[in-house]
Amino acid sequence: MIRRLWSPYDGQPMIIVDNLTRCFASGGKSLVAVDRLSFSVKEGEVYGLLGPNGAGKTTTLRMILGLLQPTSGDASVDGFRVSQFPDEVKRRIGLVSASAGLYQWLSPREMLLFFADLYSIEPAVARERLESLVDLLDLRRFLDQRCSTLSTGQKQRVTLARALMHDPPIMLLDEPTRGLDVVGTHVIFEYIGHLRSMGKSVVVSTHRLDEASQICDRLGLLHRGTLRHEGTFAELQQVTGCVTLFEMFLQLMNQPSLMSNSLTGGLSG
């Protein structure tokens, strides 16, 4: 019998990232993509993992999901260590990625029910869940069209629904607004709001700093694979003396030694 290390009802965070490190070989040298990264996410919390391209955000999410083995360190998801129970971890996570594709020859209805079957969801439960997601994400008008005929915004909504078909307690969103217009971005904002109201733990990886300050409860500023600051937006303003996240990152990139000396400073509480 597989047993959790702890239960979320014990007051433990739903996600615990513990000294995750990932190195890649490049040109005969070792490139550190993620360097001893640690943070946690509570139930019903939206955590923003922020940084420029190449900061290590996607690598971190892939290690949490169990798709990439860390060089050292580990993560726990809903009480299961990723290194020990990768399948249990995957069952508890929904992934939304800008790079995820759809099965072009299936309709949204067919594809969503197919994914429910992959997660061994009973057909009656899957149909009920499909109906609730159709209403939540306004899929009714194109539910039985082939995915190849859908607009970018419609495909986006189907991708969001797919991540929720198995009703995971944890959601990972990797650059969810990349390539979207204002309307598409608003859909993502609403979606994250629904996830929070449903009590799900959410990690949003993004370099869109203006958006992150609006949707995230806490923020982790990642630079060159290292977590340099963590806290609420107000706490980050206080510790950095900056008004906007953009200014914080300018300071981070221009004065890395200064930022390293004032890491989280008790902001992660």
Q: How far apart are CA 180 and CA 29, in angstroms?
A: 37
The residue to which tokens 């029910």 are assigned = 113
**pLDDT of amino acid 8:** 55
Reported as a pLDDT band with limits 50, 70 and 90, residue 248 is confident
Res 226: pLDDT:
92
Measured distance CA(201)–CA(13) in Å, rounded: 9
Q: Tell me what the pLDDT averaged over the chain comes to.
A: 87
Residue 85 pLDDT > 70: yes
Stretch among 1-5, 54-58, 72-76, 107-111 having the lowest mean pLDDT: 1-5
The reported pLDDT for the residue numbered 180 is 80
Q: How far apart are CA 221 and CA 228, in angstroms?
A: 6
Residue 266's pLDDT is 31
For 92-244, where are the alpha helices, taking DSSP H only?
A: 108-118, 123-137, 152-164, 182-197, 209-215, 233-240
pLDDT tens-digit profile of 200-225?
999 999 888 878 888 899 999 998 89
User: Which pLDDT score is estimated for 6?
Assistant: 56
pTM for the model: 0.87
Q: Give yes or no for a contact between 228 and 260, defined as CB atoms under 8 angstroms apart.
A: yes
* Residue 258: per-residue pLDDT: 38
Q: How many CA atoms lie within 13 A of 248 on its CB side?
A: 32
CA distance linking residue 57 with residue 153, whole number of Å: 24
Tokens describing residue 39: 């943070």
Q: What confidence tier does 256 reach under pLDDT thresholds 50, 70, 90?
A: very low
Which pLDDT score is estimated for 12? 76
CB-CB neighbours of 93 under 10 Å: 23
